[in-house]
Amino acid sequence: RSGSPLSPPAALSQVTVRDALNQALDEELERDERVFLLGEEVAQYDGAYKISRGLWKKYGDKRVIDTPISEMGFTGIAVGAAMAGLRPVCEFMTFNFSMQAIDQVINSAAKTCYMSAGSIPVPIVFRGPNGASAGVAAQHSQCFAAWYGHCPGLKVVSPWSSEDAKGLLKASIRDDNPVVVLESELLYGVPFEMSEQAQSKEFVIPIGKAKIEKQGTHVTLVAHSRPVGHCLEAAAVLSKEGVECEV
């Protein structure tokens, strides 16, 4: 047969959001010795939701740090570390309890670069589960996207798929500004297809750019976090009726 064969399509793997976040943390801890993770149960217990599984054994006490149940305290430590040149990833077991540390997140982290005329960057990531979940009661079920989205000085991301979760968390850790990463607890165990490219160590998704999950010409549906999946399901229904949605 003449002619060169077509190159095979990029391999796709099924990866859960939990494992994608774990990959991102592992790769960034390995890449930059200034990166460290702290929060409740992130080390010896492997994380309340197992996002940090295996990282304490691999990187040790200085890079993966169990904290007391004191959000205001360990968030303040993380913000100070960022001001001093480290790149902390501060995990809230649930974003509902980031309210305990709201002064540190907003008045210390978000405002310092501006208040110092750009001389003191605060490269920090605040991450953890946000929004509704299953059977976790009222104190664990609120969505803080609008709260944090209204605070100047913060970048806020809210991923849907495994690719989003990995690419946005890596971009957040590399960013020189404070970034709030709002994860959906209901998506942690959901597998998504991830390309070989998305699983590479240098894969990042740029913050602040809309991602088109489905092309369409009639109407645009905009969502973040878990509702992206609902919009894709609605788009599939409407497609049968001749309405092509962009999601």
Residues forming the active site = 71, 140
Strand positions, DSSP E, 47-86: 64-66
154: helix, strand or coil: coil
Distance CA 105, CA 197 (A): 33
- Can you read off the two tokens belonging to residue 236? 């599939």
Count of Cβ atoms closer than 10 Å to residue 235 Cβ: 19
Of 132, 131, 161, 133, nearest to 145 by C-alpha is 131
Instruction: Say if CB 38 and CB 74 are below 8 A apart.
Output: yes
Cβ neighbors of 15 (< 8 A, separation 6 or more) are 23, 162, 191, 192, 193, 194, 199
DSSP state for residue 92 in the 8-state scheme = -
Q: Which two tokens stand for residue 96?
A: 């509902």
Closest listed residue to residue 203, CA positions, set 164, 161, 229: 164
Element (H, E) at 130: none
